[in-house]
């Protein structure tokens, strides 16, 4: 099974053990000066141990200052970086995995907050997302100097034992800025014609091949599509790829520069394959392609169709470092599934270390390396079968306890079985399927279908109790919430309520947005009310843009900065916070989506019966899947059984 995916491949003369490539993704796990840390070694080593054929590191700076993309990223511009990177390459290669160091300069994308100085670029044109951050145009001599820095960085990488390098010529960074007619308006030898726009990267390739040897592999990452007027399209990308092959590149890695560069969960798997296919037709060197891959079957199909030669699995490997090994060993069902929530990118965007909503070990591999195995088969009751309860049970089982999950639903997953009802939420369903499979594979006992009582749990004589019973929809303390045309977002998503006509949705968090989207797509007239100053407060902006792109065409009324004062027959009364003005909105139905609160009616009786019960996830403090899974793993990892707390002697 998956014969193409598991087959060997070649990049130049280098043999890659399989066709799974981990493309470059930021982690912020390096030292502030660009040094290799034990944390970043553990991060990449886990993916190498998990069977990946080729790892391409995160963006690696080729100079300091204006060359810094992230506060904590790898570096390859000093002789001292050689020994540092050697620690990383050795940790990966001992598993048979190959490693390329990705060389990058941010160009106009450099942030003054991080770099500490003004950015540089081929032309003094700012990125649309930061219009005030206008870069300084590089002189022709500075272009040559920058080429030399890329070449030296490749020498550093090779000296450190890297199997190859990748030049980052995509995503709006410096090499891309030279390649793209939407960003390069020079009139000298590095701009204007296609040949001149290619010159910068071609001279880098020539320098690397001269300094590192003609057989030292070099991949170039390029855009096949840019959401910029006059930018690169698939036809132009094919032309660029063919020129790169003539210049000595050993592979091209196809991506894009748009919202789809890091697409939210609503995007289909494989949707970008037309980009890679256009490039593949133009070259004979291998094509690496990312295409929002979560499932091995989709990756195999891309190879079967000849879309690419290697499949880039990015966030799928954040979610499960053993993605490849499980695929090749028949364990596909227990792969932790990426849900496309973009929590990982949100963490990086906020200058924090990488985290994953569905895998709390990501970025914390060293911290969770060796759990204490002291369970001795003793029972632990876990009340609630959502992501927090399941995560805790899996950790407890790994430690040798005998966890028993109690849940009143007919299926494990908790509120995820509501969250998967919105548009494009099939990845949530697959994630729940994988959680169920992991619980089954671990041999964890599950009792579903009825609400459990402290008396039921007491019959287990557990050495510990974990309360993971989640939260329940908040009802705001305003008059009128008991009227018969008022319901919760949960009621709508589960089909318990089917409002029609004019609908006011109060709250624009993730649940509120998805509810508004569901209603708008049904043809309802939607008014969205949010007390804070923006829609989707606290959410990653790309997720908000994605959902609003589907709500927007239905002409919703968006009232930010408005507070719900009361619900009255026929509508709602609001208060505009900027001036206190009262605003009346007519409605046939009102949907409340103002968040959730811990289910104290469930937790309090258990806490009374078991004073040392461990409360986790939304039952303790409501948040996202990220916070719930992180909380659950941490508390289960450090859990001390009741008798140990009293210092009593344990008997086997």
Catalytic residue numbers, as ranges: 173
Residue written as token pair 């969250």 = 419
Q: What is the longest distance spanned by two Cα atoms in the chain?
A: 82
The counts of H helices and E strands in the chain are 23, 28
Contact call for residues 49 and 95 (beta carbons, < 8 A) = yes
Instruction: Give the separation between CA 524 and CA 510, rounded to whole angstroms.
Output: 19
Long-range contacts of 77-81 (CB under 8 A, 24+ apart): 77/34, 77/149, 77/152, 77/153, 77/156, 78/156, 79/156, 81/34, 81/35, 81/156, 81/160
What are the start-end ranges of the H helices in 446-540?
A: 454-458, 489-493, 510-521
d(CA 78, CA 279): 35
Instruction: Give the CB-side neighbour count of residue 498, counting CA atoms within 13 A.
Output: 2
- Unique residue bearing structure tokens 């890659």: 16
Query: What is the distance between the alpha carbons of residues 529 and 505, in angstroms, rounded to a whole number?
Result: 6
Measured CA to CA, the distance from residue 409 to residue 156 in angstroms comes to: 56
- Give me the residue label for tokens 């318990």: 496
**What 3-state DSSP class applies to 181?**
coil
Closest by CA position to 194, among listed 149, 135, 239:
239
Residue given tokens 């039952």 in the structure block: 619
The CA dihedral of 229, 230, 235, 240, to the nearest 10 degrees, is -120
Q: How far apart are CA 378 and CA 651, in angstroms?
A: 11
Least Cα distance to 566 among 583, 542, 546 occurs for: 583
Q: What is the DSSP letter of 613?
A: P
Q: Quick count: other Cβ atoms within 10 Å of Cβ 570?
A: 13
For residues 442-458, b (16+ Cβ closer than 10 Å) or e, as one string?
eebebeeeeebebeebe
DSSP 353-414: PP--SS-TTTT-TTTTSS-----TT-EEEEE--SHHHHHHHHHHHHTT-EEEEEESSSSTTT
Distance CA 439, CA 421 (A): 23
Tokens of 86: 């050697």
The whole-angstrom separation of Cα 199 and Cα 204 is 9
Alpha-carbon span 176 to 181, nearest angstrom: 10
C-alpha distance from residue 164 to each of 15, 89, 124, 246, 629 (Å):
12, 11, 32, 18, 36
Q: How many CB atoms lie within 10 A of CB 33?
A: 14
Q: What SS3 state is found at 29?
A: coil
Whole-angstrom Cα Rg for the chain: 27
């Amino acid at each position: 099974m998956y014969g193409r995916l598991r087959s060997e491949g070649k990049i130049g003369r280098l043999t890659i053990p399989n066709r799974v490539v981990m493309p470059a993704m930021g982690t912020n796990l390096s030292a502030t000066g660009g040094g290799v840390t034990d944390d970043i070694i553990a991060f990449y080593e886990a993916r190498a141990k998990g069977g990946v054929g080729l790892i391409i590191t995160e963006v690696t700076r080729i100079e300091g200052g204006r060359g810094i993309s992230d506060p904590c990223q790898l570096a390859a511009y000093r002789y001292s970086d050689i020994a540092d990177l050697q620690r990383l390459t050795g940790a990966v290669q001992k598993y048979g995995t190959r490693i390329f160091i990705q060389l990058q300069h941010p160009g106009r994308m450099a942030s003054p907050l991080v770099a500490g100085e003004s950015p540089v670029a081929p032309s003094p044109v700012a990125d649309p997302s930061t219009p005030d951050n206008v870069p300084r145009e590089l002189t022709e001599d500075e272009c040559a100097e920058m080429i030399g820095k890329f070449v030296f960085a490749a020498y550093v990488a090779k000296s450190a034992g890297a199997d190859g390098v990748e030049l980052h010529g995509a995503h709006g960074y410096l090499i891309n800025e030279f390649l793209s007619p939407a960003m390069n308006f020079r009139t000298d030898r590095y701009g204007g014609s296609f040949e001149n726009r290619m010159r910068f990267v071609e001279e880098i390739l020539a320098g690397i091949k001269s300094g590192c040897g003609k057989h030292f592999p070099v991949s170039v990452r390029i855009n096949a599509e840019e959401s910029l007027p006059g930018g690169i399209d698939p036809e132009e990308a094919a032309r660029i790829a063919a020129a790169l092959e003539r210049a000595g590149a050993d592979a091209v890695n196809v991506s894009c520069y748009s919202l789809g560069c890091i697409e939210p969960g609503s995007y289909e798997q494989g949707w970008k394959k037309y980009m890679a296919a256009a490039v593949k037709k133009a070259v004979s060197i291998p094509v690496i392609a990312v295409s929002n891959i979560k499932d091995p079957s989709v990756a195999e199909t891309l190879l079967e169709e000849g879309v690419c030669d290697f499949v880039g699995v990015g966030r799928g490997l954040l979610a499960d470092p053993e993605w490849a090994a499980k695929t090749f060993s028949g364990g596909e069902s227990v792969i932790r599934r990426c849900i496309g929530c973009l929590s990982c990118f949100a963490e990086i965007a906020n200058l924090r270390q990488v985290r994953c909503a569905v895998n709390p070990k990501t970025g914390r591999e060293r911290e969770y390396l060796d759990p204490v195995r002291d369970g001795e088969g003793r029972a632990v009751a876990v009340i609630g079968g959502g992501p927090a309860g399941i995560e805790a049970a899996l950790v407890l089982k790994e430690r040798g306890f005998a966890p028993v999950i109690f849940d009143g639903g007919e299926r494990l997953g908790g509120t995820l079985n509501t969250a998967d009802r919105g548009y494009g939420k099939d990845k949530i369903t697959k994630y729940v399927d994988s959680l169920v499979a992991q619980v089954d594979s671990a041999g964890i006992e599950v009792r579903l279908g009825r609400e459990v009582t402290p008396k039921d749990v007491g019959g287990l004589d557990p050495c510990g109790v974990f309360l993971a019973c989640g939260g329940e929809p908040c009802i705001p303390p305003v008059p009128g919430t008991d009227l018969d045309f008022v319901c919760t977002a949960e009621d709508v998503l589960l089909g318990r309520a089917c409002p029609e006509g004019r609908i006011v949705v109060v709250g624009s968090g993730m649940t509120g947005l998805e509810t508004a989207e569901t209603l708008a797509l049904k043809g309802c007239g939607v008014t969205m009310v949010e007390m804070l100053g923006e829609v989707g407060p606290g959410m990653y902006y790309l997720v908000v843009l994605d959902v609003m792109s589907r709500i927007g065409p239905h002409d919703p009324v968006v009232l930010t900065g408005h507070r719900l004062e009361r619900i009255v027959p026929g509508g709602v009364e609001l208060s505009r916070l900027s001036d206190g003005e009262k605003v009346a909105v007519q409605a046939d139905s009102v949907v409340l989506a103002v968040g959730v609160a811990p289910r104290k009616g469930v937790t309090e009786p258990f806490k009374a019966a078991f004073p040392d019960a461990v409360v986790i996830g939304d039952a303790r403090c409501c948040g996202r899947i990220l916070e719930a899974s992180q909380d659950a793993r941490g508390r289960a990892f450090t859990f001390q059984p009741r008798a140990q707390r009293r210092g009593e002697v344990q008997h086997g």
